């Protein structure tokens, strides 16, 4: 056996030990319960229709554009003020 095969066997043994430990401690059962509860909650959700989604997307795009413009204006004004103060 070469070193690569021994490392593969040791890796598989370590993985098996971790899986066995998690199974014995009940972590898999808790994960399964979490997934089931998440599915139940998602069934209760109401998802937006296509028109509502389009409207919300437009609102987000316009908001981002306005915030970007504001940030650019403030950056330019502060840059001019700093240049004015440092050149005096």
Note the pLDDT of residue 71: 98
| Torsion sign across C-alpha atoms 64, 70, 73, 76 | negative
Q: How many domains does the chain have?
A: 2
Containing 63, the helix (H) or strand (E) segment is helix 50-87
Do 28 and 66 lie in a common domain?
no
Residues 12 and 40 in one domain: yes
Cα separation values, 57 from 47, 52, 63, Å: 14, 9, 10
Q: Length of the chain, please? A: 88
pLDDT of residue 30: 86
pLDDT at position 50? 95
**Global pTM?**
0.50
Q: How far apart are CA 11 and CA 18, in angstroms?
A: 11
Q: Please tell me whether residues 37 and 56 are part of one structural domain.
A: no
The whole domain housing 75 covers 49-88
List, for residues 18-66, the tens digit of each pLDDT value.
Answer: 888 888 888 888 888 999 999 999 999 998 999 999 999 999 999 999 9
pLDDT of residue 43: 92
In this prediction, residue 84 carries a pLDDT of: 93
| Token pair recorded at residue 10 | 């040791």
Same domain, 41 and 54: no
């Amino acid at each position: 056996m070469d070193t690569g095969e021994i490392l593969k066997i040791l890796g598989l043994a370590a993985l098996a030990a971790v899986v066995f430990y998690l199974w014995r401690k009940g972590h898999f059962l808790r994960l399964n319960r979490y997934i089931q509860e998440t599915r139940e909650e998602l069934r209760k959700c109401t998802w937006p229709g296509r028109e509502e989604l389009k409207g919300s997307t437009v609102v987000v795009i316009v908001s981002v554009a306005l915030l970007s413009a504001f940030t650019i204006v403030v950056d330019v004004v502060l840059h001019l003020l700093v240049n004015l103060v440092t050149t005096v």
